[in-house]
Structure 1
């Protein structure tokens, strides 16, 4: 069949297998061109489907020469329709890694479950021996408690009353006001349960108890702070409270890793188009303006550039790992530069439907949005029939 993007409410509902694989290979090529760095020998990436998780796995495999295990929850293709992007991304990564002489395996299942944790541990014992680095990059809207079976759903809501601000329809460029009702306590607690650090701790405890973490093993989870304009719906909203819990969990995980002389960190990353961020009101408009400002200043990065910089200039410099006053690694430093944020604040006041294409980089935003699902990737013939799902 010929596959075209199906977009609904800022969500792309389908994927292009050839485009996904081509985009993964493009990221691999970027890392190969940047060069090797001294990093972990083995790495586990929990949440390696797309975005930062996928970019982490690519950087570690093709930059550090690490053997990698990826964990994701994706649908394989069927005779009638293609699967989801992460399936094709990791399939392409594994093939390229094995061709390069690296071990690369994936576990497709619910990362919150005890069963998947056991499956990963068994795989490590069988083929990898031990793990030097654990990346935790899950971005799931739902979590089933592995002990009680209770289901929790995360929500993207403010906590201090109804929030109203400018937002944009990314596909049409229409700027309008979006209002979001505040979360109740139950919604807040559920969001923290899904997106906080509880499962991260469970992963590290399970791996340590099984004896599959190396001496000096590290773990890193990803977070975001962002500018004041997004605080109400992000940092001071339900998702922000979940991220605060994630960040506090780093100190608890460091205690778990202390007998191994290991340590856990949270890396605060730049705002980028991901499947999660695309559906947060206000954020796509902010990102389109951010893209324009950072590209004009020559400091824009995508996921692969961010992760390569994280590993080569923060985690694996052979020296002390630089952190902020809260103990967090910061690779959002270019985004949060005063000159960048001052310019964004000025443009935010001016932006409307008539000037968004000029003031913001909507084309760049749309391009990244579509590429997440394998569309709009250079070199792919989208008029050609796709038969291999």
Structure 2
């Protein structure tokens, strides 16, 4: 099978196994060439197959020598379907980690379910040394079934004030379109908080605590995003914003509890704007990211996912540069939010048109990063190669 990229809007419909392997190896190479750090040795990552979670797993394994457990919902070869990018990312990471003598265990399933939590805990007790010292919560999902009630909730990417309109980039058509965001109902707001808020993070910690598998000094970090004024209608004042505030309240509750029982810590970390599979479909965001990339690259402070997460873990969580704000949030987005960066982005924002956006922004960089997420546009991968599905199906994680 020859696999070519197919997009629908800003959604990728295909993934390339060899390209995903290259994507992972380049991140590993970056960490191997960077400064190492003394960090955790037994780590659980919820949402480990792509984006922030995958980069964190790579940094922890190859930068701190950590054994890792990854939880994700991905699929491999099924019939003529070649599998998801996250599946092939996980295959590549697992192979490379095991070459280094590291444990890399994967659980593919619904991270919201009691079953996955129980299976992970059983593995920790029997085969992972009995305890973990870090949990990264980096789950991106639009649907969650509450394990206590059986009710299924669906998140809604909407405003909580007024209808929002703004320019956004369609990666399939390679043009600028007018993105719209409607006002959420109360039910949609509640559902979004149930899916994207802190409830499941807290359930994971409670289950692990009850099972007595947390070490003294245990830490946990959940990833979030705030962004600048141009995205406030989405991230600060929208349904996502309500979920993020719930995540921050959960962080404070967990920090108090873990501090008293384990001398531990819990944080929310605000990430830099990056093109991920989740952020690509958010109105306004791709255009903001394209402008931001241009400015930060010009200033020599641009970071991709692996650069940022390695800095967060090495310098902030396990180093001497915490960078906490007044709300006790870790701020690896500090370079993005610099006044000179944001003023430069704002000055360009009103100058962008459908005719000049490719020249005025770093559209090429944003598109390349998005394609790389799905294993495409690497100069050393042969995309005309006929891949053997049987050989691919034999690869295990």
- Provide the TM-score with structure 2 as the length reference: 0.96
What is the aligned partner in structure 2 of residue 287 from structure 1? 289
Whether 2:66 is the aligned partner of 1:66: answer yes
What is the aligned partner in structure 2 of residue 331 from structure 1? 332
* CA deviation string 1:234-259 (max 9, x = no partner): 22101111111111110111133120
Whether 2:217 is the aligned partner of 1:252: answer no
What is the aligned partner in structure 1 of residue 354 from structure 2? 353
- Is the Cα contact below 8 Å between 2:9 and 2:173 reproduced in 1? no
* CA deviation string 1:326-358 (max 9, x = no partner): 000000001000011001101000001111011
Shift of 1:320: 7.3
Structure 1 consecutive aligned stretches of length 4 or more whose deviation exceeds 6 Å: none
Distance 2:232 2:171 in 1: 20
User: Alignment partner of 1:80: what SS?
Assistant: coil
What is the aligned partner in structure 2 of residue 385 from structure 1? 386
Distance 2:181 2:97 in 1: 44
User: Alignment partner of 1:95: what SS?
Assistant: helix
User: Alignment partner of 1:366: what SS?
Assistant: helix
User: Alignment partner of 2:235: what SS?
Assistant: coil
Whether 2:91 is the aligned partner of 1:91: answer yes
Distance 1:353 1:117 in 2: 47
User: Alignment partner of 1:232: what SS?
Assistant: helix
Which blocks of at least 5 consecutive residues in structure 1 are unaligned? none
What is the aligned partner in structure 2 of residue 152 from structure 1? 153
What is the aligned partner in structure 2 of residue 228 from structure 1? 229
* CA deviation string 1:88-117 (max 9, x = no partner): 111111111111011110100000000000
Which blocks of at least 5 consecutive residues in structure 2 are unaligned? 393-397
* CA deviation string 1:150-169 (max 9, x = no partner): 11111111111111122222
What is the aligned partner in structure 2 of residue 168 from structure 1? 169
What is the aligned partner in structure 1 of residue 27 from structure 2? 27
Distance 1:35 1:122 in 2: 34
What is the aligned partner in structure 1 of residue 317 from structure 2? 315
What is the aligned partner in structure 2 of residue 239 from structure 1? 240
Distance 1:180 1:173 in 2: 21
Shift of 1:72: 0.2
- Is the Cα contact below 8 Å between 2:9 and 2:172 reproduced in 1? no
Distance 2:302 2:154 in 1: 33
Shift of 1:32: 0.3
Q: How does 1:77-156 map to 2 (within 5 A)?
A: 77-128=77-128, 129-156=130-157
Distance 1:355 1:60 in 2: 41
* CA deviation string 1:5-35 (max 9, x = no partner): 1111210012111111111011111100103
Distance 1:235 1:201 in 2: 22
What is the aligned partner in structure 1 of residue 196 from structure 2? 195
Q: How many residues align?
A: 388
Shift of 1:378: 2.9
Structure 1 stretch displaced more, 78-87 or 270-279: 78-87
What is the aligned partner in structure 2 of residue 17 from structure 1? 17
* CA deviation string 1:8-63 (max 9, x = no partner): 12100121111111110111111001032111011110000100000000000000
The CA RMSD over aligned residues, in Å, is: 1.1
